[in-house]
Chains A and B, each alone.
Chain A
Amino acid sequence: MEPTRQETATSTSATNKPKPTRKRPFSGKEGMASSVFIWPALLVVLLLSIFPLLVSLYLSFSRFKFVKGGFEVKWIGLLNYKKLLFGSEKTHFLGKMEQPTTLGWIIFIGITVLLIVTLIHYYRSDRRSTGGLIFRAIVYAILIAFAWLLVITTFSQGGRPGTMVVTWIYVFVGIVIQYAVALLLAVILTQQLPGRRFFRVIFLLPMMITPVGVAYLFRMLTDTGKGPFAPLWQAAGLGMYSWVNDPWGARIAIIIGDAWQWIPFMFIVLLAALEGQSMEQREAALVDGANRWQIFWNITMPQIIPVTITVVLIRMIEAFKIVDLPNVLTNGGPGTATESLTLHAYFSWRALDLGGSAAIAYSLLIVVTFFGIAYINILRRRFVEE
């Protein structure tokens, strides 16, 4: 359990350490009660996650074959991973790599400079520690490598992103859009407008629909021949253009569907946070003559940053697992342009390549864990725990 230990090293001093005991009125039966409370939950999770996790890990190092009367598992070491990173699955998994375009260079250099500036900023601050510096240097180096991969596949002449990069696009573009819209709606509904409860309930609806249902629903809506927007489509002169056959058209359709379903989640959490903030500061600022924009930027935003960071983390974890929409809407196509990592793993599983499927799933797990830990340690510790 690598992630758990890393987390320990850096954040045991979090806010919710049990307070030093003042006066402990509880005693005696405590030992018994503390076991009764926690063990049932731990046992269930242990049984259904640690065990399958280990089996999957083993599978990812082996070749799985059905033979007469059962199956055969043969240990092949790192071959499955090697195939994904360097072998026959490389273009499928990582993408086709070419020279970056000018835009690609700009993006890459922008990200790199930004990360280095952040690192220098950290080095100069009084929070720095050797451990923290090494941790950040490693994280940023990996992030720069990821940025390079993104640029040479997505923003390059003739390159194309593999399932790993496509999943990043879904996650990061999706989160930015979802957060922006959700925040806008939440800010509007914090005002005292008549009918706000009505809007609040309406805005929650998409979250309640099963993702498979949403996927089919969007397939109906985006049909350029019989869908509701077909006449508009024709009028705009796009009759001959089919988004399904255009990699970016298909990806945008999936990002829109995902946003439609998950904006409600961000919205409701942000709304709750906005309504829970203290009034006094805002009132004081208003009396001092600050305008609404200043109040929002200097008083409201800092107060909702902890919620923002948590809600983005939750969405990030969930978005990495996106599968239903690309599966139903485009079936991963055109080619593999919209295939997410989970879908890739699912296709491999369907082709009975269980070892390869497990290796993809594990790569996904490693990447999510990396982003999760980097995010928690760098952003959350900076904004929340100070």
Chain B
Amino acid sequence: MSVKSKLFKRKNINAPSPIAKIISYTILVIWTFVVLFPLYWLAITSLKHPIDVNSGPYYIPFVDFQPSLYAWQYVLFGDLQNDTIRPYINTVIVALTSATLALILGASAAYALTRFRYNPKLGTILLFIGALLLDVVLTMVGVNWAIALAVAVAVFLILMQVLAKRFHRSLGNNDIAFWLISQRMLPPVAVVIPIYILFQRLHLLDTRTALIVTYLAVNLPIVVWLMRDYFQSIPIDLEETAAIDGASRYRIFLSIVLPLSVPGLVATFLFVLVFAWNEYLLALFLSGANAQTLPLTIAAQNATRGPQWWYMSVLILIMIAPVILIAIFLERYIAKGLLVGAVKG
């Protein structure tokens, strides 16, 4: 074998042999079927009359059964219209707003964690948590919440003056980041009752604001975690050059760092958008008729007469359509963006 042909072969390291090709395509086709068949079933169920669903499995429209737009009509223009349009608007507003806010706040925090050094004092943090606990206990035993808060703040400030100097141990950036991601480990069911009470006190229950704020808090840790590793991969020299030229931190962040991280930002955004778009448990607790989101509408089709499969199918389909479009549109960013976060994350 000549050197030249060896070189030629090296270029095609990823080109599979014919047998490998056949096996590969077989597996790919099988998996495509596994993925698409449930979606196909969803699509044809949305075209069936209740009687076609209930009288046994029918597979092919026009051959097995006569498709109709009955369910689509009912969901989009019929009785269910008001129960569809409003949750749809809610879902769009809540998901877009919370994902955007999470991206803005999370990206800034992630940048700060990679470029600044923080040394929060352990003593201060413990004191802060202690004061919070005091506030909670006082409120629970029936003290007015404003008084309880004032007492807690006072205790915190006084003890801070007295004790803070004695604690020398301090934490670093990694600890802040780990603390943030540890918030993801929290099962929503563990925090949802207090959050419910909180929003009730603020008279924000069953509003989009409540959902936006909650999803923002839930999604921030992911954004920080993914974007932190992304920012770390950007060489610092560029920023130093800009700083020598007199650019401020904000300027550097906005016009150098952010443009360089577009793939990471896009992937992260899609990630948190999908989460907020699909979230069910928190929405179940925090929203009623007014701020209801689509996952709740879907679950609501499981009525006393049994699940209304045909309406449900339509709802699921109109719910995933926009996400799929966005995903196809942004596909080339997703892989690139997730990679950097994942390798170091």
- Please report A residues at the B interface, Cβ cutoff 8 Å: 1, 3-5, 7-8, 11-12, 14-19, 23, 25-26, 29-30, 33-34, 36-38, 40-42, 44-45, 47-56, 58-59, 62, 73, 181, 184-185, 188-193, 197, 199-213, 216-221, 225-228, 230-231, 260, 268-269, 271-273, 275-276, 279, 282-283, 286-287, 292, 306-307, 310-311, 317, 320-321, 323-324, 328, 341-342, 345-346, 349, 354, 357-358, 361-362, 364-365, 368-369, 372
Contacts and interface: CB of A to CB of B under 8 A. Distances in A.
A37 B132 contact: no
Contacts, number: 347
Contacts of A191: 14-16, 20, 24
Given A26-B249, A58-B136, A276-B343, A193 B25 contact: yes
Which secondary structure characterizes the binding site on chain A? helix
B159 interface: no
Contacts of B209: none
A267 B60 CA distance: 31
Task: Give 5 nearest A-B pairs by CB, closest first.
Answer: A361-B190, A37-B112, A52-B194, A55-B194, A48-B217
A1 B253 CA distance: 32
Given A17-B172, A205-B324, A30 B183 contact: no
Contacts of B249: 26, 29-30, 33, 37
Contacts of B218: 48
A321 B275 CA distance: 14
B342 A269 contact: yes
A49 B335 contact: no
A362 B182 CA distance: 14
Contacts of B45: 220
A54 B133 contact: yes
B240 A41 contact: no
Which of A48, A50, A228 gathers most chain B CB within 10 Å?
A: A48
A1 B122 CA distance: 11
B113 interface: yes
A41 B106 contact: yes
Given A12-B174, A58-B136, A276-B343, A213 B295 contact: yes
A4 B182 contact: yes
B217 A47 contact: yes
B297 to A, nearest CB: 10
Interface in B35-88: 35-39, 41-42, 45, 53-57, 59
Contacts of A37: 108-109, 111-112, 116, 249, 253
Interface in B299-336: 299, 302, 307, 309, 312, 315-316, 319-320, 323-324, 327-328, 331, 334-336
Given A58-B140, A209-B316, A361-B187, A44 B182 contact: no
Contact of A202 (B13, B35, B133, B243): B35
Which of B13, B59, B111, B195 gathers most chain A CB within 10 Å?
A: B13
Given A45-B180, A226-B57, A286-B13, A217 B27 contact: no
A226 B54 contact: yes
Contact of A38 (B31, B42, B108, B277): B108
Contact of A217 (B42, B232, B299): B42
Given A45-B221, A228-B59, A213 B316 contact: yes
Interface string B139-181: 0110000000000000000000000000000011111101110
B10 A283 contact: yes
A282 B13 CA distance: 8
Nearest to B337: A272
Given A33-B249, A283-B13, A210 B316 contact: yes
A227 to B, nearest CB: 6
B260 interface: no
A33 B248 contact: yes
A55 B201 CA distance: 14
A202 B188 CA distance: 30
A208 B307 contact: no
B89 interface: no
B114 interface: yes
B143 to A, nearest CB: 12
Nearest to B182: A3
24 contacts: A4-B178, A4-B182, A18-B114, A37-B109, A48-B217, A52-B198, A56-B190, A56-B194, A62-B140, A192-B14, A192-B15, A193-B28, A202-B36, A205-B36, A210-B298, A213-B315, A213-B316, A217-B42, A220-B309, A273-B343, A306-B343, A323-B281, A354-B193, A364-B187
Contact of A197 (B186, B190, B331): B331
Nearest to A6: B178
B344 A216 contact: no
Contacts of A210: 277-278, 280, 294-295, 298, 316, 319-320
Contact of A365 (B42, B186, B312): B186
A362 B335 CA distance: 35
B121 to A, nearest CB: 13
Contacts of A287: 6, 10
Given A216-B299, A217-B316, 7 more contacts: A7-B175, A36-B250, A48-B195, A49-B217, A52-B192, A221-B38, A226-B57
